[in-house]
Amino acid sequence: MKFALVGVGGAGGRIVDALRKVEQNSDRAFSNEQTLLFDTTQSAFEAYDHVPADRHVLIGDTHPDIRGTGLDGDIELGAEVAEEDTDEIYREFDKLATHSVHATLLVAGLGGGTGGGVGPVILEGLQSITDNPVYVLGILPADIEGDQQAYNAARSLQSYVDLADNVILFDNEEWADDGGDLDAQYPQLNIELVTRIIAVLGVGELEDAPIAETMLDPSDTMKALDSGGVSSLGYATTELDRPDSLLGKLLAMLRSNDTEQEITDAAKIKDLIQATVDSKLTLPCSVDSAERAMLSLSGPPDVCSRKGFETGRYWLEKETDTVQIWAGDEPHDASLIAASVLLSNVTDVPRIDEIQRRAVAYKREHVEDSDASDELSAETVDPSETAEQQTDSPDDAATRAGEPADDDGEETPSPTPDGDSAEASGGGDTAKTTADGDSAEPSADGERAVGSDTESRVGTEERIQDSE
Ligand SMILES: Nc1nc2c(ncn2[C@@H]2O[C@H](COP(=O)(O)OP(=O)(O)OP(=O)(O)O)[C@@H](O)[C@H]2O)c(=O)[nH]1
C-alpha cells in the first residue's frame, strides 16, 4: 500500500525522515515521494536529510509568541496558530499528489504542542482534500516526560481518534530504556517503529517480487484498518541459516521436500507468527480485544511453510478471538523470514487508561486553577476548540476536531471528507465511522458494522470529566 507521509512536529518530522531513509535504501516504494513536514520550530528542519526542503513547512512564524521557536508543549497555542495559518496549510497540501497513493499517514508525537495541537487541525484539512483514508501514527509519551505531556496526549488522542480512519500507536514508555536520556534513544526507537510500519503497511510494495500464493493488496489493509479506533503492530523475524552458493541453495530446496524438514519448517513458521504477538507490541494491549487483524509473512518461498502459515493464522484467529483476519505471504529472496501483525481497534489498553489518569491529575492541578480555566472547563474537548472560539464562524466551528457541542449540547458526528456525517469510502467496500464510533453502514462485503465502541475506548475528555 502506498502512502503520502505527513509529519507534524519534531517526532513527526524525524519519523517521516526515517521512513524515507529506509524506503530510499530498499526496493519497497512506500510513499511515492509524497511527503510534507509541518513544524513550528525553524531549526528542526535542519536535521532532515531524506525529505526535500521544498516539503518543509514552517507555521506560526508570524505569531508574536512563537516566531519559529516552537510551542514548548502548549497545545492550545498550537491549535490557535494552525487555525490562523489554515490558508497556508491548504496551499501546501497542493504539493501532495494524493491521487497517486492509496492513503495518507499523518505522524505526530501526541505529547507535543505541535504534534498534539497543530496535528488535529492538519488532519481535518487532509480529510477534506482526499476521499482516500487518512491514518495517524501517534507517539505516546514516556512516563518520565511528565504530566503535561500525558495531558496533551490524552487530549490530542481524543481528537485524532474522532477524525482519523485509524490511529496506530507507538508507546515510548514501552520501548525506551528506563533511566536513559530519552532524546538520545529516539533514533533507535524510530528504527524499531519504521521497521514495523513498513513491514505492515508496506506489504505488497516490493518491486519485482515473485507472485505470492495468497497476496495481500491495499484493499485488505484498508479493510483491516477500517474498524477505526486505535491499533497496535507486532513484528518478529528469524534468521535463516542458508548457504550462499547456488549448489547449497539447490540442496536446501531439495531438503525442503523432505517430510521431516517440512515439519520443522512448519513449526518454525508457526512459532514466528506466535512471536509477533508475544513479543513487544508498538502499543501494549490485550490481543483478544482486537476487532480485526492482518497477518503477513515475508521471506524465501522455499522456507515459508504453507502448513506453518495456515497453523499460525488459525492460532492468531483464536488468540484475537476474531474471524476478521486478512493474511498473506510475500515471497522474496532474503536472509531472514519476517512475520508482522496488525491488531486493529484494540479496546483493552492499560497504557491509555494510565495516561488518562495522569491527565486528570494534571488538569486538576494546573488547568482549572489557571487563568484559562473558564475556557478550558466543562466544554473543552480538544485544543483546536479553543482556537475556534476565537476565530471561526459557528459553522466552521462545527466541523473542528473534538466536536464542539451543538446548541442543544449534543455532540455532532465527525465529518467525512465531503462533509457528510458518514458514507462509504472511496475504496468501495469500507465503511466510515462517525465521531461517536458508530458505523454508518456495514461494509459492502457484508462484514459486521464496525467501531461501535470507539468512544468508550478513548473518550478522553469525557473520561477526564467523569473521573472528576
Ligand atoms: N519515538 C519518538 N518519540 C519522539 C520523538 N521526538 C519526540 N517524541 C515524542 O513526541 C513528543 C512530542 O515531541 P516533539 O514532537 O518534539 O514536540 P512537538 O510536537 O514538535 O511540539 P513542541 O516542541 O511543543 O512545539 C515527545 O514528548 C516524545 O514523547 C522521536 O524522534 N521518536
pLDDT over 60 at 299, yes or no: yes
Annotated ligand binding at 73? The verdict is no
Annotated ligand binding at 455? The verdict is no
pLDDT at residue 262, as a whole number: 63
- CB 164, CB 125: distance < 8 Å: no
pLDDT at residue 236, as a whole number: 96
Residue 162 — very low, low, confident or very high, per pLDDT cuts 50/70/90?
very high
In a domain, 274, yes or no: yes
Our CA angle for 436, 439, 442, nearest 5°, is 175
Q: Which parts of 305-428 are beta strand (E)?
A: 325-331, 336-344
Is 113 touching ligand 1 by the criterion CB < 6 Å? yes
Q: What is the CATH classification number for the domain harbouring 241?
A: 3.30.1330.20
Count of domains observed in the chain: 1
Residue 28 — very low, low, confident or very high, per pLDDT cuts 50/70/90?
confident
pLDDT at residue 467, as a whole number: 46
- Which atom of ligand 1 lies closest to the CA of 117? 19
Q: What is the 186 CA–ligand 1 centroid distance (Å)? A: 9
What is the DSSP secondary structure assignment for residue 462, as one 8-state letter? H
Percent of the chain beyond pLDDT 90?
56
| Mean pLDDT for the stretch of residues 127-144 | 96
The tens digit of pLDDT for each residue in 387-445 reads 333 333 333 333 333 332 333 333 333 333 233 333 333 333 333 333 333 333 333 33
Is 37 touching ligand 1 by the criterion CB < 6 Å? no
- CB 325, CB 296: distance < 8 Å: no
| Mean pLDDT for the stretch of residues 375-383 | 33
- What is the domain extent for residue 271? 232-344
Model pTM score? 0.80
The tens digit of pLDDT for each residue in 74-116 reads 999 999 999 999 999 999 999 999 999 999 999 999 999 999 9
Which helix or strand (DSSP H or E) is residue 361 part of? helix 350-362
Is 282 touching ligand 1 by the criterion CB < 6 Å? no
Predicted ipTM of the assembly: 0.99
In a domain, 98, yes or no: no
Closest CA to 192 of 60, 283, 270: 283
Annotated ligand binding at 190? The verdict is yes
Is 72 touching ligand 1 by the criterion CB < 6 Å? yes
In a domain, 94, yes or no: no
Q: Which residue's CA is minimally distant from atom 20 of ligand 1?
A: 9
Our CA angle for 354, 438, 386, nearest 5°, is 60
| Mean pLDDT for the stretch of residues 296-316 | 89
pLDDT at residue 254, as a whole number: 59
In a domain, 3, yes or no: no
Is 83 touching ligand 1 by the criterion CB < 6 Å? no
Angstrom CA distances, 15 to 36, 171, 194, 320, stand at 12, 14, 7, 29
Annotated ligand binding at 145? The verdict is yes
Is 189 touching ligand 1 by the criterion CB < 6 Å? yes
Q: What are phi and psi of 430, to 5 degrees?
A: -120, 155
In a domain, 280, yes or no: yes
In a domain, 276, yes or no: yes
pLDDT at residue 263, as a whole number: 62
In a domain, 311, yes or no: yes
Query: Which cell numbers hold the place of 218?
Result: 491495499
Percent of the chain beyond pLDDT 70?
73
Annotated ligand binding at 257? The verdict is no
The alpha carbon dihedral of 62, 64, 70, 76 has a sign of negative
In a domain, 194, yes or no: no
Q: What is the 10 CA–ligand 1 centroid distance (Å)? A: 5
Mean pLDDT computed over every residue of the chain: 79
Helix axis angle for 306-320 and 259-278, nearest 10°, is 30
The tens digit of pLDDT for each residue in 231-290 reads 999 999 988 776 666 666 666 665 655 666 666 778 889 999 999 999 999 999 999 999
- Which atom of ligand 1 lies closest to the CA of 145? 27
